[in-house]
């Protein structure tokens, strides 16, 4: 019995010394469940990249606000789309809207804005160059401008091809020639100066649409009303007057 008991005791001791597989599994799982050590992270608000982004966003907002503020200072006004000559009827189709910033707000009142109603039956009283702002002082009623429209027929080779509305020209009256190339005896001597000086071209159709096969080109000129009688008196002295047109620079 003692031996048996001893064996039993030894067996018990031996059994006690052997590790339990389940206990080892639990210990391994516990070790695996422990998270790895991590370094402490710097707070986000201390990251310099954050502040650089904030500065860039703020700068863009300020720049955009200034841009919109400066855009609000501009006003749309009418400008001449092409040269407008004195005596030319004012047509909205000849005008172009353009945004302009006036350093002096009071100066805006001297020009036509797109919100202004253009005077009806009005004409330009002086030359307004292409791209120039349309001043109120250069627009008047057609009946009060003191200008009349005078048409003349000019040989195509005696007028610069680029002459058009808004140009300022001088018109010379040339004595007609006889068959031999000299002046006709009955024709008076041509005046030394221009018959019309510094007049504006109101209309200048192309030669093909003016007089067809005649080879002449029509020009419509704005002539001061007081000078028109003298011009027609000169024309009456010639049977076939010839004009030469000189464009001023």
Domain ranges of the chain: 74-143, 146-247
CATH number given to 74-143: 3.90.1210
Nearest C-alpha neighbor of 247 from the set 137, 120, 159: 159
Identify the top-confidence range among 16-20, 57-61, 152-156, 203-207: 152-156
pLDDT at 244: 93
- Please check the confidence at residue 61 and state whether its pLDDT lies above 60: yes
pLDDT (average), residues 118-125: 84
> Rounded to an integer, what distance in angstroms lies between the CA atom of residue 249 and that of residue 247?
7
pLDDT of residue 128: 87
Residue 15 phi/psi, 5° resolution?
A: -65, -35
**Mean pLDDT, to the nearest integer, of 119-138?**
87
Lowest mean pLDDT across 108-112, 136-140, 169-173, 185-189: 185-189
What pLDDT band is residue 112 in, cutting at 50, 70 and 90? very high
Its pTM surpasses 0.85: no
């Amino acid at each position: 019995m003692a031996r048996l008991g001893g064996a039993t005791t030894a067996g018990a001791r031996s059994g006690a010394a052997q590790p339990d597989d389940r206990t080892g599994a639990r210990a391994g799982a516990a070790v695996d469940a422990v998270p790895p050590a991590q370094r402490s992270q710097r707070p986000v608000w201390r990251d310099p990249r954050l502040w650089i982004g904030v500065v860039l966003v703020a700068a863009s907002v300020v720049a955009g606000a200034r841009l919109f503020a400066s855009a609000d200072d501009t006003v749309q006004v009418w400008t001449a789309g092409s040269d407008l000559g004195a005596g030319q009827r004012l047509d909205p189709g000849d005008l172009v809207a353009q945004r302009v910033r006036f350093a002096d707000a009071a100066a805006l009142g001297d020009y036509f804005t797109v919100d202004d109603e253009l005077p009806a039956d009005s004409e330009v009283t002086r030359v307004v160059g292409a791209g120039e702002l349309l001043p109120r002082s250069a627009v008047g009623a057609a009946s009060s401008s003191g200008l009349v429209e005078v048409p003349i027929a000019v040989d195509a080779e005696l007028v610069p091809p680029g002459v058009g509305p808004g140009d300022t020209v001088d018109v010379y009256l040339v004595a007609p020639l006889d068959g031999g190339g000299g002046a006709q005896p009955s024709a008076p001597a041509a005046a030394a100066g221009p018959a019309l000086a510094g007049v504006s071209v109101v209309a200048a159709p192309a030669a093909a649409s003016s007089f067809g096969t005649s080879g002449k080109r029509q020009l419509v000129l704005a002539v001061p009303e007081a000078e028109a009688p003298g011009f027609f008196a000169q024309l009456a002295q010639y049977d076939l007057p010839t004009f030469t047109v000189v464009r001023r620079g």
